Structure 1
Amino acid sequence: MTHIRGRVWRGGKPQDDFDFSAISDYLADDDTLVWCDIYDPVHDTLEVLAEELGLNTWAVEDALAESERTKAVVYRTHTFFTVYAVTDGAADETLSTHRISAFVLPRGLITVRLSTEFDMEPVSQRFDELGGQEYGVGSLVHGLLDVVVDGHFDAVQKLDDEIESLEDDLFEDRSRRGDLQRRTYALRKELVQLRRVVLPMREVVNSTQHRRLDAKTAPELDPLYADLYDHVLRASEWTESLRDMITTVFETNLSLQDARLNMVMKKLTGWAAIIAVPTAITGFYGQNVLYPGIDSAEGFIVSTVLISILVVTLYVMFKKRDWL
């Protein structure tokens, strides 16, 4: 079932008379600004809206498609972009992504979401916090993208903390190696997913910043978009550094496993050599032939002393070479 909410501003002041059926009237009024949010949309609803507002057919199809990449496309009468908001995931996931598509019109912003899992209330609150609705639809677009980019920063910070926790556990002697490797693979997967939605945001911000849709797109918004673009760059660079960090953790874990295996092999080899001495001597004295010291206390004493001397000598040698 399609759910629709919206807000209207006249002369930069919020109103409480939003009516979905009157969107075309709002857009025709030079003094009116409108935001319409459509989630869990029905195809027919968007088709009717697209025909009424002159939206590009392919853009409408992209807004309804199950899987779309982060992008921005500029048409003659409007701009269409798709971004992904990132929130905390379920119990078995670190992060969860939620797609938001938007049609930017000269005096309106129409957002389309496929589910209600992402709460748009912070976006509406950001509109009020930023103010500046008198500057046109650019202020609404900035508010939406600002919330999305803030979510990216929180997600990157969370992954950074998780990777630092991995680094701390990496050199713990009693850390569970299987669990550490599983967490490393899980974080690499989450990081790849995050990079896919963070890196293309530069294209989206650039397209929306430089697209002058109407005379109300005031230069006062340029510093805000410049700051937003700087945040996007920082988030992108942060994800790149995290990729290097997780790769280092993964490679270091493999190196430590090899080092531990070599240490175990050295110890096993050393103890096997030590155990081989009494085995060889007692085996010699266990032969069914006559030899000096057979059936006498002197033979037992000689064999015992010989075993002790050789075992102690091998133990001291291996200990000095750090084999034991």
Structure 2
Amino acid sequence: MIRNLSRAVRRAYRHTVDLSHPARSPLGSAVENCVVYHRGGRRPGDRSPREAIRETRGAGRDGFVWIGLHEPTEDEFADLAELFGLHPLAVEDAVHAHQRPKVERYGDTLFAVFKTVRYVEHEQLTATSEVVDTGEVMVFVGHDFVITIRHGRHGSLGPLREALEALPEQLRKGPSAVLHAIADQVVDDYLDVTDAVQGDIEAVETAVFAERTARGDAGQVYQLKRELLELKRAVIPLHRPLQILVEDPPPAVSPEIRPYFRDVADHLARVTEQLTAFDALLDSILQAHVAQVTVAQNEDMRKITAWAAVVAVPTMVCGLYGMNFDHMPELHWTYGYPVVLGVVATLCLVIHRGFRRNGWL
């Protein structure tokens, strides 16, 4: 079932034109969705967060409310924080982006931060191309609520919500099922981005080792390393939070959901291995590029040296005859100058042939 969910989410993403959702919901300036789920089903109708949690708690412990927000301000989030009793430290982290991936427990509430990534399409990689765009998704999980806060222009949870609603048995497992689905989607996006980055690395590798463009472009390699570092900052710190969810999960995580985080951790380990390999490969490509540039410079120096040796012969002979001695062998000989010119030309040809035979020219 979890595998089907991941595939459904990816299909939904491929068929979604705009995932940024810049428009604001009438539910609030930052609220994108406020939905009540009861026994795995979505209850129809629009409602405010206060009405939603009142309805959820009035229906017993068989449901929860899922509130989605996009880049709320402190004032916009203050009422929700008070309504659900969220810890001030977690609220501060949720409002201000640029947090590291983490999982923290505040009483009965779990607070998780995930870094989202998106591959930026480009026709050709340059020294200034943006390859990886990052954002963040913060998740508050309680026994009867889920609050998601999204930062950035990508990483919409709309397709994920629709995929989950198509699996009511999964939604019946409560808010922690949403937490797992978000973590699974984030890590699956890591896999997709790393596969796309691999294409850029292969293109750079081909350019560096191609015979006609042996010198390549070091700027492309450096840019890829910078973008790869951005991706690693999103991926590597997530290991510890997933380890907590697998080995020592907070009470907010349902026992039915805990085993599924192992699958997410396995996918994350695969991404980490790929990134490590990419980093090593880019280092090798950069070293190969530097070696090629050095070899090319050595070849240029050998050619310059060889031509300098060839030109040194007529320079030396002309220098000798420029001393204006009174007694020179051919000054009064009719064929003197032609013979000297012939000797100079012969010596130059012999030296040139020797250099060509040794590969200097």
2:7 match: none
Structure 1, unpaired ranges of 5+? none
Whether the 8 Å CA contact 2:201–2:282 is kept in 1: the answer is yes
2:53 match: 24
Q: How far did residue 18 of structure 1 move?
A: 5.0
Whether the 8 Å CA contact 2:135–2:153 is kept in 1: the answer is no
Q: How far did residue 144 of structure 1 move?
A: 0.9
Whether the 8 Å CA contact 1:7–1:18 is kept in 2: the answer is yes
Matched residue type, 1:167 = E
Q: How far did residue 110 of structure 1 move?
A: 0.6
Q: How far did residue 13 of structure 1 move?
A: 1.8
Q: For residues 357 and 45 of structure 2, what CA distance do their matches in structure 1 show?
A: 86
In the superposition, relative to structure 1, how do residues 129 and 182 fare at CA in structure 2: closer, same or farther (>3 Å)?
Answer: farther
Q: Secondary structure at the match of 2:136?
A: strand
Q: Secondary structure at the match of 1:288?
A: coil
Whether the 8 Å CA contact 1:126–1:143 is kept in 2: the answer is no
1:231 match: 267
1:126 match: 163
Q: Secondary structure at the match of 2:335?
A: helix
Whether the 8 Å CA contact 2:34–2:52 is kept in 1: the answer is no
After TM superposition, list the pairs within 5 Å mapping 1:279-294 onto structure 2: 279-289=315-325, 290-294=327-331
Q: Secondary structure at the match of 1:274?
A: helix
Q: For residues 69 and 295 of structure 1, what CA distance do their matches in structure 2 show?
A: 92
Structure 2, unpaired ranges of 5+? 1-28, 123-128
Q: For residues 195 and 110 of structure 1, what CA distance do their matches in structure 2 show?
A: 26
Q: How far did residue 130 of structure 1 move?
A: 5.1
Q: For residues 124 and 80 of structure 1, what CA distance do their matches in structure 2 show?
A: 19
2:103 corresponds to which of 72, 76, 84: 72
1:95 aligns with 2:132: yes
Higher alpha-carbon deviation: 194-203 or 118-127 = 118-127
Whether the 8 Å CA contact 2:105–2:250 is kept in 1: the answer is no
1:15 corresponds to which of 20, 43, 59: 43
Q: How far did residue 252 of structure 1 move?
A: 1.4
1:260 corresponds to which of 277, 296, 303: 296
Q: Higher helix proportion, which one?
A: 1
Q: For residues 241 and 125 of structure 1, what CA distance do their matches in structure 2 show?
A: 35
Whether the 8 Å CA contact 1:33–1:136 is kept in 2: the answer is yes
Matched residue type, 1:72 = V
Normalising by the residue count of structure 2, what TM-score does the alignment of the two structures yield? 0.82
Q: Secondary structure at the match of 1:296?
A: coil
1:55 match: 86
Whether the 8 Å CA contact 2:118–2:154 is kept in 1: the answer is no
Q: Secondary structure at the match of 2:51?
A: helix
After TM superposition, list the pairs within 5 Å mapping 1:233-252 onto structure 2: 233-252=269-288
Whether the 8 Å CA contact 2:134–2:152 is kept in 1: the answer is no
2:33 match: 5
1:163 match: 201
Whether the 8 Å CA contact 2:310–2:351 is kept in 1: the answer is yes
Higher alpha-carbon deviation: 58-67 or 265-274 = 58-67
